Amino acid sequence: MKIAIIGGGISGLTLAWYLQKAGVAYDLFEADAQPGGNLRTWAAPGGYMLETGPNSLQLSPELADLLADLGLTDQIEDAAAVSQHRYVLRDGRYQALPGSPPALLASGFFSLKTKWQLLREVLRPAAAPDATETVAQFFRRRFGPEIVDYAVNPFISGIYAGDPEQLLIHKTFRQLPALEQAHGSVLRGLLKTSKGTARRRIVTLAGGVQRLADTLAERLSNYQQGTAVSALSRAADGSYQLELRGARGLEAAPGYSHLALALPAYAAAPLLEPLFPAAAAALAAIHYPPMSVVYSAYDRAAVAHPLNGFGALHPKVENAFAAGAIWTSSIFPQRVPAGQVLFTSFVGGTQYEAAAQQPEAAQLAAVHAELAQHYGIVGAPRWQGRYYWPRSIPQFDAAIVGAHAAAETLAAEGILAVANWRAGVSVPDCIRFARDTAETLR
């Protein structure tokens, strides 16, 4: 058995790491000149250490194990305690989003009607399972429209760059309909199952999240960067042959019993097309909306808002320009020079596609204007910068169903999908899925 891993993002790197530990032969090919894919730390001019992709990670057991394995546990940096507070734009101003159902009942964030609907969720009968139900339909049915508009909508655009009217509940939060089915009510299910489960730590690494990718790549014996897989073919014995495009021109790498697709679905589709056209079409249908990440730094004294939280999200009904901003200097103060604050704004995702594609200068100006309005900022930014993702995060909407079915078909041919469009989009999801896949290949 020999496995070719195509793509050296966190999924491919983790898969390679656990295969190497288990003594399974592999080669990992990464097109880019650096490992990590979406994990990309940017030392920007002016002394700012920024993330263009994931800014912070939930410390899942699998991530903690991987960091321990790599000797990185002492490099973990926790988010500041203040970042447990989250804000949402409501009626033109930022209001603290209650962090739990009891806090929600006590706060004035939601109307009395919505609080009453929330309480009555425990009595509402479970509906028959529906594989086509969207996240918005599910929450509207169980908790009412205000919860969708002011909690679910900003959360989905903040985490998934998505639209709750399109994402499927059983592909995005499969545990919630499962709780409804098992306990008759989501809240009753949560109360029964979440007793004693502590909130996960939100962390980064000293030097940024790219350190994780760099360390993995350093420890892998068969990692090749700057080498794109440009075509696939299959020999009479069923083994796979790769055409590689790198510094040495075109090369062939034959004799793989398995392939691991650890690359975006839109990059995997053209490789699969000649051998598996139907699967290729299903993968090509996954939507990756564009996303501009805009950084704005100010002198602390120029910003009136206390910035006592993780950040603030914008529900679509508030008609803002950006989907929201995280308060980088509040979460990880060491990333920004003393005496300054830095906002990382997200302009894009499915609900903000037109704004994501505007020219850079227009985006920077619009973000500054919006920040100035909501945070009471006087004067111009000290510095602004932008990173553009033409195709950011795969959407788990109706198209993902066909892609996941295609992944099953491919698995029967020895081709394993091990990337965020299969695993789930968070870095811990990718790590867990890659580690589980390595287990099946031992």
Ligand X SMILES: Cc1cc2nc3c(=O)[nH]c(=O)nc-3n(C[C@H](O)[C@H](O)[C@H](O)COP(=O)(O)OP(=O)(O)OC[C@H]3O[C@@H](n4cnc5c(N)ncnc54)[C@H](O)[C@@H]3O)c2cc1C
Please provide the distance, in angstroms rounded to a whole number, between the alpha carbons at the two ends of the chain: 9
- Site track 400-419 with ligand X (rule: CB under 6 A), x = hit: -------------------x
Q: What is the DSSP letter of 134?
A: B
| Binding of residue 289 to ligand X (CB under 6 A) | no
| Binding of residue 62 to ligand X (CB under 6 A) | no
Of the residues 325, 425, 431, 438, which one makes contact with ligand X according to CB under 6 A = 425
Give how far Cα 371 sits from Cα of 77, 129, 302, 366, Å: 27, 42, 12, 9
Identify whether the C-beta of residue 184 lies closer than 8 Å to the C-beta of residue 177. no
Minimum Å gap between C-beta 116 and ligand X is 34
Name which of 317, 312, 330, 308 is nearest 373 in CA terms: 312
Minimum Å gap between C-beta 162 and ligand X is 12
Of the residues 167, 169, 406, 430, which one makes contact with ligand X according to CB under 6 A = 430
Of the residues 27, 30, 121, 180, which one makes contact with ligand X according to CB under 6 A = 30
| Binding of residue 393 to ligand X (CB under 6 A) | yes
Minimum Å gap between C-beta 135 and ligand X is 18
Minimum Å gap between C-beta 424 and ligand X is 8
| 159 versus 281: smaller Cβ distance to ligand X | 159
Backbone angles phi, psi at 221, to 5 degrees: -80, -25
| 267 versus 284: smaller Cβ distance to ligand X | 267
Minimum Å gap between C-beta 107 and ligand X is 26
Minimum Å gap between C-beta 269 and ligand X is 11
Of the residues 3, 4, 19, 31, which one makes contact with ligand X according to CB under 6 A = 31
Size of the site for ligand X (CB under 6 A): 36
277, exposed or middle or buried, with CB in 10 Å at 0-12, 13-18, 19+? exposed
Binding region for ligand X (CB under 6 A) out of 9-17, 101-109, 140-148, 315-323: 9-17
Identify whether the C-beta of residue 9 lies closer than 8 Å to the C-beta of residue 261. no
How much is the CA Rg of the chain, to the nearest whole Å? 23
Binding region for ligand X (CB under 6 A) out of 48-56, 198-206, 251-259, 365-373: 48-56
Minimum Å gap between C-beta 390 and ligand X is 11
| Binding of residue 330 to ligand X (CB under 6 A) | no
DSSP 147-213: HIIIIIHHHHHHHHS--TTTSBHHHH-THHHHHHHHHSSHHHHHHHH-TTPPPPPEEEETT-THHHH
Give the amino acid at 293.
Answer: V
Name which of 50, 49, 17 is nearest 435 in CA terms: 17
Residue 137 tokens, joined: 């339909």
Of the residues 97, 229, 372, 431, which one makes contact with ligand X according to CB under 6 A = 229
Residues that bind ligand X (CB under 6 A): 6-12, 29-32, 37-39, 53-57, 228-229, 262-264, 267, 291, 293, 389, 392-393, 419-420, 425-427, 430
